[in-house]
Amino acid sequence: MQYVNKILFFSLFLLFFLAHGQSENTIRQQSGSKDKTKPNIIFLMTDDQRWDTMGCYGRPEFNTPNIDKLSEEGVTFDNAFYAVAICMPSRVTMMTGRYNSNHRVGFVAPDDYTLSQADFAQSYPAILKNAGYRTGFIGKVGFTVSEKATRPSTPKEPFYKEHLSNTFDYFAGSETYDWKGHVVWPENDVVLQDIFKEGRKNSGRTLRTGEAMLHFIDTQPKDQPFCLSVSFYAVKHDKDRDVYMPHYEQFKDHDFSIPDNWVAGDNPVLPKVVKENARGVYLHRQRSSTPEMYQGLVRRFATQGYTVDDQVGLLVEKLKEKGMLENTVIIYTSDNGRFQGSHGLFDKCLLYEESVKAPLIIYDGRMPVSKRQRRENALVSSVDMASTIVSLAGLEPSNLMQGKAITAVLNQTQDMSQWRDAVFMEDLFLVDMFKERYEKNVDEINQSLIDRNKSYRAHGVRTERWKYFVYYEHTPKIEELYDLEKDPLEQQNLANRPEHTVILKKLRARTEDLYRKAIQ
């Protein structure tokens, strides 16, 4: 009897052990399966790439086959806009999901602060890092994170390692150039360190960025999701060191089409305050005011765009090779547009379409083909990027984020009658303030410019049909209104026409309402 009891006890113990082991194994499998459902997220951003300088946005002469393929396989947004169209504040807006007037990180006073570590801790990379993602950043940072928000926003030393290493596991970046103040970690990653080794003979900044991007994928653990932000230095700047010259061969003799709103010389219809004070006016004279100047620069921008496109193709192939593509989201955009002679302007900032309209392509390998091979007309803002990335990771956006997650628009579950009918945009940059940014009395200088009617700061709204903005620090205020359905090149300012008084008042009120919400 004792022998039988021992056998019975052993059998029960064995059954319990097997069941418990199977249960633990099931939990591990479920946990692993759950981790695998978290998508990898890659955020690709170019610098100053105008929205219509790629094939998928109607200009095949720019030759961007890999971006066009990404567009064909993903969702391409035709009504995406920047909340602010200049690099530093635009990058902070996309990373934090906050408007320029709210985060106050910019080039000039009074909005010339660094981003505090407390605020950066609420950015999309920090949120995903805390949720178990491996995080990486490659390329142009363009802003400074400091212990507390301080002025000016452009200190001589950004201290990336000290202030960003808790957020990024993998980093290869700098303020503006990859040959100036470039910082790389992990320090024990010999391959990564060699990519950016001083004096190394290689093929230029875009290819170095691409190498680092692919190396990140090669070093990715299989059991962890990742979020990689890649901020290309291209297409900004056009010196030989910035252009991969072998790619220039295909464009060197090509005459690009010239937009119908390109202006030779000065543009007499610009507001006086813009003509007399904005940087884009005199830069146009210097760089894009003749057909020869225009062609020379656009060929070099096209070259840089093609080199970026090449890296996009290599990235997709690498993800396929690693079996990652089906669980990866790729977002492609830029930080702002560029006039390149349109409206008689060079540069960006001002609130015309060439500056504020954004390329935006989102490929989500998890989505069925029927839902992602399409174009989308929903109004989207760059302030939406942070909350969207956090939501794609299955997480809750920070309550500081002011943008809307567009995940429901992506998967076509959004009730579009409840979606926004306007996006808010602003320009807080004054070139005269930029020249004085290190002076101690910057607030007095700023007020002096306003008092002398030299401020061209503006804010406004873009709806599906209308564009309204106002130079609000000028006395009297100067307003511009465009019917983009009839006048997509913004050639006829309708603000002073009596027949448009109703829509003018409506958009004026909408602008003020959205501005009040932006600064909260």
pLDDT tens digits, residue range 292-330? 999 999 999 999 999 999 999 999 999 999 999 999 999
The residues with which 437 forms a beta bridge, in sequence order, are none
- pLDDT for 14: 42
- pLDDT for 86: 98
In a domain, 25, yes or no: no
Model confidence at 15, in pLDDT bands (50, 70, 90)?
Answer: very low
Question: Distance (Å, rounded) from C-alpha 461 to C-alpha 506?
Answer: 11
Residues 474 and 406 in one domain: no
**Closest C-alpha to 44, from 233, 306, 323, 247:** 233
DSSP 28-65: HHHHHHHHHHSPEEEEEEESS--TTSSGGGT-GGG--H
CA 133 vs. chain centroid, Å, equals 20
The neighbour count for residue 36, using CB atoms within 10 Å, is: 12
CA 337 vs. chain centroid, Å, equals 11
Has residue 372 got a pLDDT over 50? Answer: yes
In a domain, 474, yes or no: yes
Using the 3D structure, point to which of 366, 391, 415 is the last residue of a domain.
415
Kindly report, residue by residue over 392-450, the tens digit of the pLDDT. Answer: 999 999 999 999 999 999 999 999 999 999 999 999 999 999 999 999 999 999 999 99
One-letter amino acid identity for 175?
Answer: E
Model confidence at 386, in pLDDT bands (50, 70, 90)?
Answer: very high
Average pLDDT over every residue of 156-175: 94
Three-state DSSP string of 358-374:
EEEEEEECCCCHHHHCE
Residues 378 and 447 in one domain: no
Residues 89 and 61 in one domain: yes
In a domain, 24, yes or no: no
The DSSP call for residue 394 is: T
Kindly report, residue by residue over 113-148, the tens digit of the pLDDT. Answer: 999 999 999 999 999 999 999 999 999 999 999 999
Question: Distance (Å, rounded) from C-alpha 381 to C-alpha 515?
Answer: 14
Cα distances (Å, whole numbers) of residue 103 to 78, 89, 92, 107, 400 = 27, 8, 8, 12, 10
Model confidence at 19, in pLDDT bands (50, 70, 90)?
Answer: very low
Has residue 183 got a pLDDT over 50? Answer: yes
Average pLDDT over every residue of 210-229: 97
Using the 3D structure, point to which of 415, 441, 465 is the last residue of a domain.
415
Using the 3D structure, point to which of 360, 390, 415 is the last residue of a domain.
415
One-letter amino acid identity for 453?
Answer: N
Predicted TM-score (pTM) of this structure: 0.92
Residues 137 and 233 in one domain: yes
Residue that is written with structure tokens 């302030």 in the block: 383
Residues 390 and 466 in one domain: no
**Would you state the torsion angle of the CA atoms of residues 247, 67, 202, 140, taken in this order, to the nearest 10 degrees?**
120
Model confidence at 180, in pLDDT bands (50, 70, 90)?
Answer: confident
Model confidence at 66, in pLDDT bands (50, 70, 90)?
Answer: very high
Has residue 10 got a pLDDT over 70? Answer: no
Residues 6+ apart with CB under 8 A from 409: 376, 378, 380, 416, 419
- pLDDT for 185: 98
Q: Determine contact, residues 154/437, Cβ cutoff 8 Å.
A: yes
In a domain, 20, yes or no: no
Question: Distance (Å, rounded) from C-alpha 162 to C-alpha 160?
Answer: 5
Kindly report, residue by residue over 471-492, the tens digit of the pLDDT. Answer: 999 999 999 999 999 999 999 9
Average pLDDT over every residue of 264-278: 98
Residues 411 and 498 in one domain: no
Model confidence at 3, in pLDDT bands (50, 70, 90)?
Answer: very low
Question: Distance (Å, rounded) from C-alpha 413 to C-alpha 36?
Answer: 23
The residues with which 467 forms a beta bridge, in sequence order, are 462, 482
Phi, psi of 478 (to 5 degrees): -110, 125
Residues 229 and 270 in one domain: yes
Domain that holds residue 474: 425-518
- pLDDT for 68: 98
Average pLDDT over every residue of 82-103: 98
Handedness of CA 493, 495, 501, 502 (dihedral sign): positive
Kindly report, residue by residue over 225-248, the tens digit of the pLDDT. Answer: 999 999 999 999 888 888 999 999
In a domain, 35, yes or no: no
Residues 477 and 381 in one domain: no
In a domain, 158, yes or no: yes
Cis preceding linkage at 60, omega within 30: no
Residues 429 and 404 in one domain: no
Residues 454 and 330 in one domain: no
Residues 301 and 432 in one domain: no
Residue 514's CATH number: 3.30.1120
Model confidence at 78, in pLDDT bands (50, 70, 90)?
Answer: very high
Has residue 2 got a pLDDT over 70? Answer: no
Model confidence at 36, in pLDDT bands (50, 70, 90)?
Answer: low
In a domain, 2, yes or no: no
Residue 86's CATH number: 3.40.720.10
Has residue 29 got a pLDDT over 90? Answer: no
Model confidence at 202, in pLDDT bands (50, 70, 90)?
Answer: low
Model confidence at 22, in pLDDT bands (50, 70, 90)?
Answer: very low
- pLDDT for 30: 31
Q: Which is higher by pLDDT, 19 or 38?
A: 38
- pLDDT for 200: 75
Q: Which two tokens stand for residue 152?
A: 């000016």
In a domain, 127, yes or no: yes
Residues 304 and 235 in one domain: yes
Question: Distance (Å, rounded) from C-alpha 26 to C-alpha 37?
Answer: 16
- In the chain, the number of structural domains is 2
